[in-house]
Structure 1
Amino acid sequence: MTRQITALISGASIAGPALAYWLDRYGWACTVIERAPEFRDGGQNIDVRGAGREVLRRAGLEEAVRAATTGEVGTRFLGKGGAVVAEFPVRESESEGATAELEILRGDLARLLVDAGNERIEYIYGDQITGIDDSSDGVEVTFEHAAPRRFDLVIAADGMRSSTRDLVFGSEASVRPLGMQTTYLTIPRTETDTSWWNWYSEPGGLTVTLRPDRHGTTRAVLSSVVYGEQVDVDARAARTSAADHKARLRRQFAHVGWEAPRILAALDDSPDLYFESIGQVTAPRWSLGRVVLAGDAAWCASPVSGMGTSLSLVGAYVLAGELAAHVHHADAFAGYERIMRPFVNQAQNLPPGVPKIANPRTRAGLAALHVALRAASTPLVGKLTGRFFRPPADKIDLPDYSHLG
C-alpha cells in the first residue's frame, strides 16, 4: 500500500480547518494544532464574498453557512444622538456591499469547517510548535507539550502574528501597521439593538459599532486611529495586561456618546474581549523547503479589506488542490503562489485613505464624511463610489480540482 502523506497545520481558526477539510478529501492525513486550550467559539462578524463563496459551494457548505448567518440587514452610519446619517442595505450580490449577503460569526464558520471534516482529522488544542527541523524527506517538529513528531509537510495558518512563520522565515515576512487599534467583545443584547450594523464616530478617530448575531447577544467594537507615528501596539500585546487595555479604552472613550458608556460598562464581564492592532502581512515568498504559509500568516490583508475570510477559504482550496495535483511539493507551492499572489495583491491594495478616511480626526472631517456617506447612499453617486464597498473578491479564476477527489 502507498504510504499516506502527512501534514501538520498550525492554527484552527478558518484557514487551518479549511485546509484540513480539502487535504483529507484528497487522501492526506492531517493534524491541526491550536495553542488555545479548546475550540474557540468566539469572534466577530465576518463575511464570505465572491470566490470564497464559490469555494464553500464546491465544498457543499454554502447552504450550511447561509443557515448560520447573523441576520444583518445592512450598514447604518449614525450621527449625533444615534440619528441615521446614511444606510446601505445588503445587496443580492456575492461581492458588493458593506454588509455581504453571507455574514457569519468567525466561531460559527470555524465550527462548520471543523464539523465538515472527516473524523480522521486530528485536532490538538492547548499546544504549539516550538521547533522545526526541515530535511529533504520530512519535517521533524517539536512541541511545547507533546512529544516530537515527523510530518511530510508543515503549514503555518496561525494568523498575522504567526509564531510558526517566525520559526522558519524569521524577519523575512513583515507586518505593516495601518494605524488603527480595535477591541472586539460580546455584550448582552437590549431592545434598542437592531439587525443593522450600526456605526457611530466621533472626532479623534474614535468609532463605536454594534452588530447583530444569532445567539441572542450583540457584537461590539471600539476602534481608535493612531495619529503621528504608527506604533504597532499589537507587537507589545503579550506584555500588556487586560487591565491596562481596559484602562486605556475607558480613558479614550470616556466622553464618547451613543452606546459607548454601555460597552465600557460591559468590559469586565465580556467572555471574549479581544484586542488587536490592524495591519497587513508582506512575505516575499510563502514557502521554504517543506513549510508553507497560508491565510493571514501568509498575506493578512487586514479586516478593513473585507477580504480576510474569502482569502483564507480560497487559499486553502488552492493550496490543497495544488498539493493533490502535483507529485512534488515544490511544484505545488509554485502553483499556489502563481494563482494566489495576484489575488492577494489586489486585496491588499486598499482604497486611498483607508482606514483613517472612515475614522476622522476632526469635527470638520467627520462632517465631510457624513456628507459623502449621504451622497454615496443615493443610487447615482453610489455607483461612482462603490469601490469602497466592493472588494475584489471575485478577481481570480478558480482552478477546478474536482477530478482529484
Structure 2
Amino acid sequence: MRILISGSSVAGPVLAYWLTRHGFSVTVVERAPAPRKTGGHAVDLYRPAVDISAKMGVLPRIEERATGTTRMTVHREGTRRPVRVDLAKIFRATSDRHVEIMRDDLSEIYYDATRDDAEYIFGDSITEISPDGEVRFENAAPRRFDLVVGADGLHSNVRRLTFGDESRFSSFIGAYLGVLTLPNTVGLEGELRIHVGIGRTAGIYGARHLAEARALFLFRSERELDYHHRDVPRQKDLLRGAFAGLHPDVDRWLDHLDGSPAFYFDSITQLRMDTWSRGRVTLVGDAGYCPGPAVGGSTTLAVVGAYVLAGELARAGGDHSRAFPAYERAMAEHVRGSRASALSAAKTLIPTSRLGVQGLAYGARLVSALPAGLGRGLLRLTTKTARVHNSMTVDDYPLPAAGDRTGRAGDLGGGLGVD
C-alpha cells in the first residue's frame, strides 16, 4: 500500500517511521530543498512524545541535543530588580518526562530514523490530488498513491487542496509569535532571559551545542494584522513596532532582524475543523489541529497524532474508511485539551495587566522555590497545560513480525481500488 506524506518537519517523519514499521510503502514530499539545519526554535516534548521517541530508539539523541536551559531571569517593564527562577524545577513539576530541543534538531533526528526506509523527495510540492489517488507535483511526474497525508503545518497545502481556504478553519486567539537567530554574545549558558510588559513578552535563550542564540517575541493584538505569511519585510516591521521601547536589550535583539540567518513570524492561531479526513486524504499535526504555535504543546500533539494515525491504519488493515474515523476519535480529547491549555498559556505568557506581569514573575519563582511535590501540585491546580500533557494516554499498536512487513504491504496495496 502506497502512502504519500506532505511535510518532513516533525509529524511527517514520525508518521513515516511508524507506517514503514507497520509494513506500508511511504513517500515523503517536502517543499524545502533539503532538511533544515538552522536549528529552528525551541519546542517541548512532554511525556507521551518522549515515550514514543523512546520506542523509536531516538531518545538518547534527543536528550543529547536538549537545549540545556535550566534557569530563567524575568525582567518586568518599569522595574530594575529581576526575578530569578529555577526553570529545571518547573519543567520537572510540569511533566514527569520532558525534553526541550530545537525544532530543526528534532526534525533531523526523526528524518535520520526514517530516511533508509521511506522515499524522500525534497524541493517539490503537491499541486493536485484526484479522488482516485493520482497526485500531481510542481516538478515530478504524476504518481498514484492509495492515501495522502498532509503533515505540512499550519498553512497546509494539502488542507487547502482538499478542504479549501485556511480562513474557513482558523481561529485567531489574539497574539503573534516571532523568532530570530542572532549571535550568542551575552553568555547565556543555560539561561532564558525574558522581558515582560503588558501585552508583550520577549526572551533570549541558546542551546549548549549551538553558537547562536534565539530571540523569542510574543505580543497581543486585538485584531488580525494585515500581512501575507510569506511577506518577511512586513513581518519584521510589525515586530519592531510591537516591541518599541520595551527595553534596550530588546532593541539590541531587534537590531539583528535584517541580518538574521533564520526568522519566523506568524499569528497564534488555532485550527478548528469538524473532520480532518476526506476520501483518501487526512491531516496530522498542525495541518489538522494546530492548538496555537508556542502555547499549545503542538509538537507533542503532532508526535502523538502521527503515532496514532499509523497505528489505526495498521489496526484497520489499511482500510482508511475505518482507520481515519478511529484516528479522529482517538485524538479528539487530546486536541480539545490542547486548545484549552493554549488559551490559558497565552494569557499567562502575554499578560494583559500589570498584575498579570507580577503574577508571571512571582508565580514562576514560587513554583521553583517549593519542594517538587508541592510545586507539581500547585501547577496542576493552576494550569491546564500540565494536566493535559500528563493525562494523555495512547494505545499500544503492536508491530508485525519483521518477516511479515514486506508481504503485508504488498497485500494491502493489491486489495485497494478506487472509492
TM-score between both structures, scaled by the size of structure 1: 0.88
Which of 97, 107, 116 pairs up with 2:113? Answer: 116
Cα distance in structure 1, aligned partners of 2:115 and 2:188: 39
Matched residue, 1:277? 267
Q: Which deviates further from its counterpart, 150-159 or 388-397? A: 388-397
Which of 341, 354, 374 pairs up with 1:350? Answer: 341
Q: Deviations over 1:87-141 (max 9, x none)?
A: 14314977716x9741110000100011011424121122211111013xxx011
SS in 2 for 1:394: helix
Question: Are the counterparts in 2 of residues 34 and 128 from structure 1 also a CA contact under 8 Å?
Answer: yes
Matched residue, 1:25? 21
Distance of aligned partners of 1:69 and 1:115 in 2 relative to their CA distance in 1, 3 Å threshold: same
Question: Are the counterparts in 2 of residues 9 and 32 from structure 1 also a CA contact under 8 Å?
Answer: yes
Which of 206, 214, 224 pairs up with 1:231? Answer: 224
Shift of 1:144: 1.6
Distance of aligned partners of 1:110 and 1:374 in 2 relative to their CA distance in 1, 3 Å threshold: closer
Shift of 1:58: 1.1
Cα distance in structure 2, aligned partners of 1:224 and 1:196: 22
Shift of 1:193: 2.1
Cα distance in structure 1, aligned partners of 2:179 and 2:97: 20
Shift of 1:332: 1.3
Shift of 1:385: 4.1
Cα distance in structure 1, aligned partners of 2:58 and 2:13: 13
Cα distance in structure 2, aligned partners of 1:10 and 1:128: 8
Indicate whether 1:334 and 2:325 are aligned.
yes
Shift of 1:371: 4.6
SS in 2 for 1:283: coil
Cα distance in structure 1, aligned partners of 2:268 and 2:387: 17
Matched residue, 1:146? 140
- Match of 1:24, as an amino acid? T
Cα distance in structure 1, aligned partners of 2:304 and 2:160: 23
Question: Are the counterparts in 2 of residues 183 and 222 from structure 1 also a CA contact under 8 Å?
Answer: yes
Cα distance in structure 2, aligned partners of 1:31 and 1:226: 40
Which of 78, 82, 85 pairs up with 1:84? Answer: 82
Distance of aligned partners of 1:397 and 1:19 in 2 relative to their CA distance in 1, 3 Å threshold: same
Shift of 1:156: 0.5
Indicate whether 1:308 and 2:305 are aligned.
no
Matched residue, 2:153? 159
Q: Which deviates further from its counterpart, 55-64 or 249-258? A: 249-258
Q: Which deviates further from its counterpart, 266-275 or 371-380? A: 371-380
Cα distance in structure 2, aligned partners of 1:331 and 1:209: 45
User: In proportion to residue count, which structure has more helix?
Assistant: 2
Question: Are the counterparts in 2 of residues 52 and 393 from structure 1 also a CA contact under 8 Å?
Answer: no
Provide the aligned C-alpha RMSD in A: 2.5
SS in 1 for 2:111: helix
Distance of aligned partners of 1:283 and 1:70 in 2 relative to their CA distance in 1, 3 Å threshold: same
Between the two proteins, the alignment pairs up a number of residues equal to: 391
1:3-402 equivalences in 2 (<5 Å): 5-42=1-38, 43-79=40-76, 83-91=81-89, 96=94, 101-135=98-132, 139-171=133-165, 174-203=169-198, 205-213=199-207, 214-227=209-222, 230-231=223-224, 233=226, 236-238=228-230, 240=231, 242-327=232-317, 328-350=319-341, 353-363=344-354, 365-367=356-358, 369-379=360-370, 383-386=377-380, 387-388=382-383, 390-402=386-398
Shift of 1:10: 0.6
Matched residue, 2:408? none
TM-score between both structures, scaled by the size of structure 2: 0.86
Where structure 2 has 5 or more consecutive residues not aligned to the other structure, the ranges are 402-419
Question: Are the counterparts in 2 of residues 198 and 209 from structure 1 also a CA contact under 8 Å?
Answer: yes
Distance of aligned partners of 1:74 and 1:282 in 2 relative to their CA distance in 1, 3 Å threshold: farther
Shift of 1:155: 0.2
Q: Deviations over 1:348-398 (max 9, x none)?
A: 112765413432345455345445444444425773344436151232332
Distance of aligned partners of 1:154 and 1:351 in 2 relative to their CA distance in 1, 3 Å threshold: closer
